[in-house]
Amino acid sequence: MKRNLVLSGVEKRYGDFVALQKTDLEIKAGEFVTLLGPSGSGKTTILMSIAGFVTPTSGQILLDGENITGLPPERRNFGVVFQGYALFPHLTVYENVAFPLRARGIRGEAARPKVEAALAMAQLDPFAERLPRQLSGGQQQRVALARSLVFGPELLLLDEPLSALDRSLRKEFQTEFKAIHRKVGTTFIYVTHDQEEALTMSDRIVILDRGRILQSAPPRDLYERPETEFVAGFLGKSNFLRGRIECVMDGLVEIHCGALSSRASAGHQQDPVPGSRGTAALRPEKIALHRAKPDGDLCTARGRTTAITYLGSAIEVELALPDDTRLTAMVPAGSISVAEGEEVFASWAPDAPVLVTPREG
Ligand SMILES: Nc1ncnc2c1ncn2[C@@H]1O[C@H](COP(=O)(O)OP(=O)(O)O)[C@@H](O)[C@H]1O
Ligand SMILES: [Mg+2]
């Protein structure tokens, strides 16, 4: 059975300290939702409140309308994969995976088909009789995953499950988590501070900062239309054009910032006011570089290259504009050859920059 999960005004305080401000969040049955934010932003607090290991100071957690806020963890039927794998060291892989079934009174031959299916799903068949210490980190992670799914939970909660693995294994698991999610159809709520992980796997990303949700949207929307400077800067890289909004029409504004003048999409900003201050986020890969001033309906800036970094498939070029404003461009390797100190033109589409709410302070 799959059900919708709703957090309604959930807040967590430790004494005077607010770990999680009053939070509303809806997660649809079968969704793959990622909670993404820096360390200390409240991700684990949300996840452990859903699991039942943390009791909210106020607010309610509802599963298809049923209030489960006070229900003990073992009665929620949710699977949990913690940061450390917490496998039983003296039990074999098979016995570890069978454990949640035993706890539910399913033993011996009755458990076998479920355990075998979970082992197969996690590609663990050859390791069933090994002990955890005879496995690699990646294999131990698979055991934790198989164990959390063996009893067919309605929700799977994962707290930075890949943080102990090296980069290539993490990438492999990202693909695998997605495939397993598609296959079992269980709701996945995944916690990470890794932007790439969140972008690759999720149906939806919820961005947290200092105990509150800043924005919640599918990866592409979040990347293309961030609401705030924090989100634009946390999810990938951004240039920030800070200046005065000069005129507004058709969802585009003109923003004047020193040597640079650009159009920008109004994004999520309702009715930006001409004459007011504004900040627009411009992704480095939306900037093209040219030797001569380009034609067409583009925004342009002239600058001198101050740093060039070769990144394999792309080159990162830092430009200093005449008033010393910096712009970072990311262009495909081989698209232009530039040397440090050269004068070049940068161009971007009028709707490439997006107005965002500036960071406080
Ligand atoms: N038991 C606790 N007592 C006091 N403060 C806590 C406790 N658990 C978490 N916190 C604080 O709450 C904030 C959010 O923590 P957490 O949800 O674990 O963050 P994240 O998982 O995003 O790194 C942090 O500042 C953390 O120090
Ligand atoms: Mg955490």
Per-residue pLDDT tens over the stretch 208-221? 999 999 999 999 99
Taking the CA atoms of residue 196, residue 200, residue 202 and residue 207 in that order, the dihedral angle to the nearest 10 degrees is 20
Q: Where are the alpha helices (DSSP H) in 132-211?
A: 137-149, 167-184, 195-201
List, for residues 161-200, the tens digit of each pLDDT value: 998 888 888 998 999 899 999 999 999 999 999 999 999 9
The two three-digit tokens of residue 12, written as one number: 């967590």
Q: Assign residue 30 a region: left if phi > 0, alpha if psi is -120 to 50, beta otherwise?
A: left
Give Cβ neighbours of residue 336 (< 8 Å, ≥ 6 apart): 289, 290, 291, 344
Which residue has tokens 């997605």?
178
**Predicted pLDDT of residue 334:** 85
Q: Assign residue 240 a region: left if phi > 0, alpha if psi is -120 to 50, beta otherwise?
A: beta
Q: If you take atom 7 of ligand 1, which residue's CA is the nearest one?
A: 14
List, for residues 256-266, the tens digit of each pLDDT value: 998 899 999 99
Local confidence band at 1 (pLDDT 50, 70, 90 cut-offs): low
Dihedral over Cα of 121, 127, 131, 137: its sign: negative
Model confidence, pTM: 0.92
What is the CA(83)–ligand 1 centre distance, in A? 14
Measured distance CA(197)–CA(212) in Å, rounded = 21
The whole-number average pLDDT for the span 97-111 is 94
Measured distance CA(31)–CA(198) in Å, rounded = 14
Give 295's DSSP letter.
P
To the nearest 10 degrees (0 to 180), the angle between helices 167-184 and 108-121 is 120
Task: Give the CA angle between residues 198, 203, 208 to the nearest 5°.
Answer: 50
What is the CA(170)–ligand 1 centre distance, in A? 25
List, for residues 300-320, the tens digit of each pLDDT value: 999 999 999 999 999 999 999
Q: Is 42 in the pocket of ligand 1 (CB under 6 A)?
A: yes
Q: How many CA atoms lie within 13 A of 117 on its CB side?
A: 13
Q: How many Å is the maximal CA-CA distance in the chain?
A: 76
Report the share of the chain in percent with pLDDT over 90.
82
List, for residues 63-101, the tens digit of each pLDDT value: 999 999 999 998 999 999 987 768 999 999 999 999 999
What is the CA(214)–ligand 1 centre distance, in A? 18
Q: Is 40 in the pocket of ligand 1 (CB under 6 A)?
A: yes
Q: Is 45 in the pocket of ligand 1 (CB under 6 A)?
A: yes
Local confidence band at 294 (pLDDT 50, 70, 90 cut-offs): very high
Neighbours of 303 (CB within 10 A): 24
**286 alpha carbon, distance to own chain's centre:** 21
Task: Give the CA angle between residues 278, 281, 284 to the nearest 5°.
Answer: 150
Residues bordering ligand 2, an ion, CB closer than 5 Å: 44
